[in-house]
Structure 1
Amino acid sequence: MKQLSKKIFNIFIICIICIVPLIITPNRLDYYYQAKSYLIYALCLFTSIPFLFEFNKDYFSNKAIYYTIFVYIFILALSTIFSVNISQSIFGKIYRYEGFLTLICYLIIFIIASSKYIFSKVHLVYLFLSATVISIYGILQYFGYNIVKVDPIRSKWVKYVYSTIGNPNFLGSYLVLILPISIYCFIKSNKILNLLITCLLYTTLLLTNTRSAWIGFALSFLLLVIFSIKNKKDLKSLIFILLIIFSITLLINSYKNNALIKRFDSIVSDAKNASIDSTKSEYSGSTRIFIWKRTLKLIQNSPIIGYGPDTFDIVFMKNYKKDVNRLIGNIIIDKAHNEYLQIAYASGIPALITYLLFLIFAIIDAIKNINKNILIIPLLCSISGYLIQSFFNISVVSVAPVFWAFLGILCKFSKVKEFH
């Protein structure tokens, strides 16, 4: 019976990481997000039942991490109860579906992964197979080939790479999570297959044209370099993969007539514009500065419990619709385009502080145990890269479950000392 329950929890985690990002439902109003959210609900519901039957307080060895989780859940509940739109806060906005139910599912994913997951090398096969399918589909989209009929929202997108994830920015954040693991597998094994997978994923990352993901990946790779230098291991393989990455970047930049260099230069120019108090700053970072400034004002008006999960479109457009129409166009802004500001807006500053404390406790615990379990290294790099890109991006049901599963596995690896 115990063996069966172990399989159930591992299957749950594999489904969250490898199956959920692949889900796409053509010929519906929403191709990319609603079905994923429904699958997450179902998986969490059915897996929570055996988990509760086997519940043991010993699961929570690092109590600081779990105390912050339970405080975070309490704050989320309060912000939902006092939301500007309770129904939308519970179920989430259409095309987003990150209401209270989804956020609780993310935490369930974390708790099960951190307490019940058992690593097996075959899980890497499933992960890379899923990521390979997603990447190949994305590259095909770049060249104008779609496996399924394009939905109305994306019908005018030309050379956009979004695969089954639904958006280039979100695909970029997904690849930031996976790439450090494929790179680490290569530098540890020197297997050509792991190298090919890394090249495929990195090529797709470049084609997403997502600057936040590039920055996140750069940080995660830098951390890999630091850990390798510190441990004086795998340096030759790391240098080799760096040369490969550099070569791929030059080739794609040449193919795209220096578009990558221009896109990278825009990071610097946007940063300069953002530092100047002028109209130009409003357009910096794809108008993110425009959104951030106004989001900060909203947070000041409700700093304790926020406005409720996934209600950003209601409050932001009510207050700043004229500004949006004047500076951006006739569109609806439904996210803060900064995950940390989004949390502070939705559930208040205490929620953001609790979330950050939770992350700090988990990361510190992982760093302390790196020498006891080297599998911590690639996950720590993945999560760090994701957290950096989150400063310019949003949480979505296509990618966030993978992040929470990885974070849970990181905490599990921090407790398990068997890998050297």
Structure 2
Amino acid sequence: MPEKDAFKGGGLLNLLLVTSFFVSPLLFFTDLTRNPYYLQITLLNVSLLAAMAVIAVNAFLRRGNFLPGSPLNIPAACLLAVYLFSFIYAYFNHTAFFRPAMASEGLKTALFIVVNCFFVFYLSLKTPFAGVSNLEEPGAGKWLSLTLLWGALWFLFPFVKTPAPAQDFWSRFWDPYGGLLWLGGITAAYLALKKPVRQEDVLAMIMSAAGIASLYGVLEYFHIELIWAKLINPYGNRSVSTFGNPNFISSYVVMLLPLAAYYLAGAKTIGARVFYGILFFSYEGMLLASLTRSSWLGAAAAFVFLFSFRAVREKFYENKKFLVPFFAAALVVLVFWPSASLKPFSSGLFERVSEATSKLNSPSSLSLSVPAEKVYSSFHQRLLIWASAWQMGLENPLLGKGEGLFELFYPFYQGNLLYNYEAARNLRTHANNAHNEILEQWSQAGLLGLGAYLWFFFTLAAGFCFYQKRSAPDVAASAVPLAAALVGMFADNMLNVSLHFAVPGLLFWWLTGALALKVFPPTVHQWPRRAGLAPLFWNKIMDAIVIRASWAKRAGLAAVVCFCALAAIFWQRQFAREFYYFNGFKEMRRNNFAQAVLELKKAYSLHSREVNNNYELANAFVRAGELEQAGWAYGEALKANAGYDEIYFNMAVVQKRAGKFQEAAHALEASVFINPLNPPVYQALAEIYTAEAAAPAAGVRHAAPAYGLSAKDAAAGAGARIFSDAVKIFPDDGNMWNTLGYFYSLQKDLPKARAAYGRGVRVDPENRMLAENLAGAAARMKIKSDPDLQWLALYNEASGGLSGGDINRAVKNADILLDLAPGNVKVLMLKAKLLFKAGDTGGAETLLSSLLKKNPADNSARYGLAAIYEKEGDFARARTEWGIFLQFDPGNTAVAARLKALP
């Protein structure tokens, strides 16, 4: 009979572990929520919450401890305390405008840290190892059967799946064959787990599920899709498998590769060798199919760490007759894995590495000051994010910007870097994490947070080192693959973000708990009791303290259960909100705006702080003609996340149409601060400032004037300030220079106005308004021979060569213009046209190629270059240029027809 105080609910706990580690990493839907992986995230969180509730209820009923004793408890508590204090300090030291969004972002991060990280860590700590002395091999046969048989049954799915009869939830969720297959897989995984569950069985289940996901990802890489009607490849040919992002599954297998290799080294039976061999090759294939170089570095670091221990090397030597040819085959796969194009005899490894080294080949290339042709987006975008993260931390070195607030505030730091570094302007992103784990901690929690974080893992590392010294070689070796997994993940996340996402984060913290359990056996603290009559009083005091502490502990456990219940309800509502949001999103694309509003309002009622839903709701109100409601919804979107420039811009458009010019100006200024690369924002600001400057003195004030200035002067000053920045970002935009000159003229600063008009004329000589404004400014300044007007006259004379003038003289004039304005794009384009007309196609080709090298998006130059190739009969190069042209302008039917007509 079971003991009275024995743990109850072991079967339920096993089922929840199956949901977390088998179902969650594999289950996703493409037509249920806009994020296809939201259901797996919801299932993961709800199952973890339920598991912790089961443990808390048992501890409440005195059937075991809730938190096992560990040297990591104090560092973990300090880390959580620093995170909390960092957020609270940031919350009260920012303006009230940001606080709703800070609360929204902070809640998401807090739930992730508590549930996805530390709940998992302590759940792992409470799951004992079956092996007392080493990492015992679980029964491989049952997991091999599950992996191969259950995985193979999915090959039938395309032939037996049932089309969804309707668009309601259950029709899109349930398929008879798929549903029965899932029920069978869950049942098999549940029965394969022993009761009480042991670490080895959980690890085997994790590895089995990852093997299935990896095999599916490899099939994706070779364009074989089993589940969906079309191939899912949102990242080109980088396989996402069931994880939604190649960077996530690559990190997952980085952590499992050392475990697979370790188990394989100790495998004694054919079944075990087949199982772990299949897993190893599937993980390797998935890692290569992801094309994630940070994970390749992580895997390399993990294996260097793994084989740096003599006991592990000896384990491999014992089985070298099998392992040497096995790893030789693995090396062949590594070297000859095809590139993303799947060209024969290509190497994905060498192609991806050479792609980076060809750009990052000097110290000067490792900065944001590189020329455009040296920009390597994968690296320089990270550099942009790192620079912003560093600045966040510098703002408050002790506590950082506030834990959980990176995504919210990142755009406000990025904007200044985009303004100052031309190379970064095509790399603008909305980063949700720092892409470097050290900067992640520094930027949000400062030195205190980074210190507590390092304290936690240095304590674990110290325990691991001591464990290696005090244990026998075979025993010590059992902890090495767990530590190697963590080393690989940390190396990966020096360039990656996967630690902060649900499924890879789940595995990382489970393995952290497993390693902590291995090197720090759990302890239970008891008050010391003293014998004899003298210490009787002491014992009674201790008993009273223990009784009071017990009641406090039970109250805390009850609070944990309540938290788990409320958080589970929160996630259920989040999933329902995501379902209705996707419905509304699809109705918007069908132009059914009234129905879209209804669906999106349902989503809002379930959770009012989701930026994508609120933004889509605002857009639906705009399309439905409800501008007042649209303004409210844009405001709600900013309360969810105030870091999106497009929200401010769209809200300003609505406010401007409603006559709220001052509010619109503030919103546009915020938008341009976040994203200085959006020309329509400048145009809208110019309209507001111009209207204010032209308004009668007693008219309605559109923008708040600066202290001591009239509304007209304030508008002129604001316009001059904004557009003096704008022309630095858009130096070849004549309209920007014209608007800047206009605001300078309103300030009665004629020299600056004339200079702006002159610069504008040189970059846009066909702009008649600029020419007239320049002539007017020169006349008012009584300049008889204005150099910019003379330059314009010479340009017009050279342009005459295209319409029947002296072509040789026109070319000479173009050379004179270039001497006066070296590198002028308009003159270079004019000279290329003149050379083409003169029959010098080689010279024209050289000029056009140089223009495209400077600006690959210059379709005017590309059009001319493609035309030259056609004329020369070089149809292969013409085809290439027309193809690139259409990448920048896919709607150009004339060019598409011209491309199709090529022989």
Could you tell me which of 106, 109, 132 is aligned with 2:120?
Answer: 109
Q: Which residue of 2 aligns with 1:99?
A: 109
Q: Does 1:383 align with 2:486?
A: yes
Q: Does 1:223 align with 2:302?
A: no
What TM-score results when the alignment is normalised by the length of structure 2? 0.42
CA contact (8 A) 1:174 1:399 kept: yes
Q: Which residue of 1 aligns with 2:76?
A: 69
Distance in 1 between the 2:404 and 2:415 partners?
18
Distance in 2 between the 1:376 and 1:192 partners?
23
**Secondary structure of 1:234 counterpart:** helix
**Secondary structure of 2:408 counterpart:** helix
Q: Which residue of 1 aligns with 2:35?
A: 30
* Alpha-carbon spacing, 1:211–1:155, altered in 2? closer, same or farther (3 Å): closer
- Matched to 1:182, the amino acid is A
Q: How does 1:214-253 map to 2 (within 5 A)?
A: 214-228=296-310, 232-235=314-317, 236=320, 239-253=324-338
Distance in 2 between the 1:258 and 1:192 partners?
27
* Alpha-carbon spacing, 1:405–1:57, altered in 2? closer, same or farther (3 Å): same
**Secondary structure of 1:413 counterpart:** helix
* Alpha-carbon spacing, 1:59–1:256, altered in 2? closer, same or farther (3 Å): farther
Residues 247-295 of structure 1: CA deviation (Å, up to 9, x unaligned): 1112214846233213223555637447755623874625212221221
Moved more, 135-144 or 204-213: 135-144
Distance in 1 between the 2:486 and 2:493 partners?
10
Q: Which residue of 2 aligns with 1:129?
A: 208
Q: Which residue of 1 aligns with 2:280?
A: 198
Moved more, 345-354 or 37-46: 37-46
- Deviation for aligned residue 1:409: 1.1
Q: Does 1:263 align with 2:270?
A: no
* Alpha-carbon spacing, 1:111–1:324, altered in 2? closer, same or farther (3 Å): farther
- Deviation for aligned residue 1:346: 2.1
* Alpha-carbon spacing, 1:338–1:86, altered in 2? closer, same or farther (3 Å): farther
Structure of higher RCO (CA pairs closer than 8 Å, 6+ residues apart): 1
Distance in 1 between the 2:292 and 2:42 partners?
28
- Deviation for aligned residue 1:401: 1.0
Residues 362-417 of structure 1: CA deviation (Å, up to 9, x unaligned): 12212332434543122111111001111111121131011101111111122459
Moved more, 205-214 or 329-338: 329-338
Residues 152-172 of structure 1: CA deviation (Å, up to 9, x unaligned): xx7654312111211111221
Distance in 1 between the 2:49 and 2:9 partners?
15
Q: Which residue of 2 aligns with 1:46?
A: 50
* Alpha-carbon spacing, 1:298–1:334, altered in 2? closer, same or farther (3 Å): same
* Alpha-carbon spacing, 1:58–1:104, altered in 2? closer, same or farther (3 Å): closer
Q: How does 1:286-301 map to 2 (within 5 A)?
A: 287-301=381-395
Q: Give 1 or 2 for the bigger CA radius of gyration.
A: 2
Distance in 2 between the 1:98 and 1:194 partners?
37
Indicate the percent of aligned positions where both proteins have the same amino acid. Answer: 19
- Matched to 1:103, the amino acid is I
Distance in 2 between the 1:338 and 1:282 partners?
20
User: What is the number of residues matched between the two proteins?
Assistant: 410
Moved more, 189-198 or 385-394: 189-198
Distance in 2 between the 1:300 and 1:158 partners?
37
* Alpha-carbon spacing, 1:124–1:67, altered in 2? closer, same or farther (3 Å): closer
CA contact (8 A) 2:19 2:44 kept: no
**Secondary structure of 2:309 counterpart:** helix
Distance in 2 between the 1:353 and 1:149 partners?
49
CA contact (8 A) 1:376 1:410 kept: yes
* Alpha-carbon spacing, 1:193–1:275, altered in 2? closer, same or farther (3 Å): same
Q: Which residue of 1 aligns with 2:251?
A: 173
Distance in 2 between the 1:384 and 1:50 partners?
32
Distance in 1 between the 2:119 and 2:86 partners?
19
- Deviation for aligned residue 1:188: 0.8
- Deviation for aligned residue 1:138: 1.2
Q: Which residue of 1 aligns with 2:219?
A: 140
CA contact (8 A) 1:90 1:100 kept: no
Calculate the aligned-residue CA RMSD, in Å: 3.2
* Alpha-carbon spacing, 1:73–1:251, altered in 2? closer, same or farther (3 Å): same
Distance in 1 between the 2:366 and 2:286 partners?
34
Q: Which residue of 1 aligns with 2:240?
A: 162
- Deviation for aligned residue 1:7: 4.9
Distance in 1 between the 2:199 and 2:82 partners?
36
What TM-score results when the alignment is normalised by the length of structure 1? 0.85
Instruction: Could you tell me which runs of 5 or more consecutive residues in structure 2 were left unpaired when the two chains were aligned.
Output: 130-197, 523-903
Instruction: Could you tell me which runs of 5 or more consecutive residues in structure 1 were left unpaired when the two chains were aligned.
Output: none
Could you tell me which of 433, 436, 451 is aligned with 1:335?
Answer: 433
- Deviation for aligned residue 1:54: 4.6
- Deviation for aligned residue 1:22: 2.1
